[in-house]
Structure 1
């Protein structure tokens, strides 16, 4: 899974295998080591949730994008390439979320 952070946006791109894992398990994650210990890392994840709206959580070196289950199911079982949302994280502070299938990618 690839993570791109730019200005006020997060973009996740998942390989075909990662899309299938997300469909089966409801969660897919990647870890980037940033130092010598396990706590010196950044984890980013995509997670299915029963909540009705998109959410992003951040804490303890982890960014998690949470997608409503119905939307996640539709995305993983159709040829729809991407899903997106704009979250207001504070007054006048939007965060754009884009999740895409990266089906041509050969990791």
Structure 2
């Protein structure tokens, strides 16, 4: 699962294996271990929930994004690319969340893309 952040937004991209793990285990977690004498890390998770809305929290170096099972069920279908939500922070700012399938690039590159989804724009 890839994570991209920028100015009050988070985007998660999941390959085929990641989506299958979500479908079967209802949770996917990744951890980044940083070098140094003191062990430090950052974790992020996508978690299925019975709650009706997409939500998130950040506690003890762990970003958790909660997605309703109803939203996830629709997303597992091949034609669904992703889902998103906008959350208003306690300070009144907007925070955007986007979760999407990770597609193969249109131009060749040196990265293994065998576990990525076929790009829907491949046959324009």
The question of a shared fold, defined as TM-score above 0.5 by the shorter chain, is answered with yes
Give SS of 2:52's match: coil
Point out the more displaced range, 51-60 or 74-83. 74-83
Task: Show structure 1 runs of 4+ deviating over 3 A.
Answer: 35-39
| Higher alpha-carbon deviation: 41-50 or 76-85 | 76-85
Contact 1:16 1:103 in 2 (8 A): no
Q: 1:28 is matched with which residue? A: 28
Gaps of 5+ in 2: 105-111, 116-124
Q: Does 1:97 align with 2:124?
A: no
TM-score w.r.t. structure 2 length? 0.79
The CA deviation at 1:85 is 0.4
Displacement of 1:103: 3.6
Q: Which has the larger radius of gyration?
A: 2
Q: CA deviation at 1:62?
A: 0.3
Q: Distance in 1 between matches of 2:37 and 2:79?
A: 40
- TM-score of the pair, normalised by structure 1: 0.90
How many residue pairs match? The answer is: 107
Higher RCO structure, 1 or 2 (CA under 8 Å, sep 6+): 1
- 71-80 vs 44-53, greater mean Cα deviation: 71-80
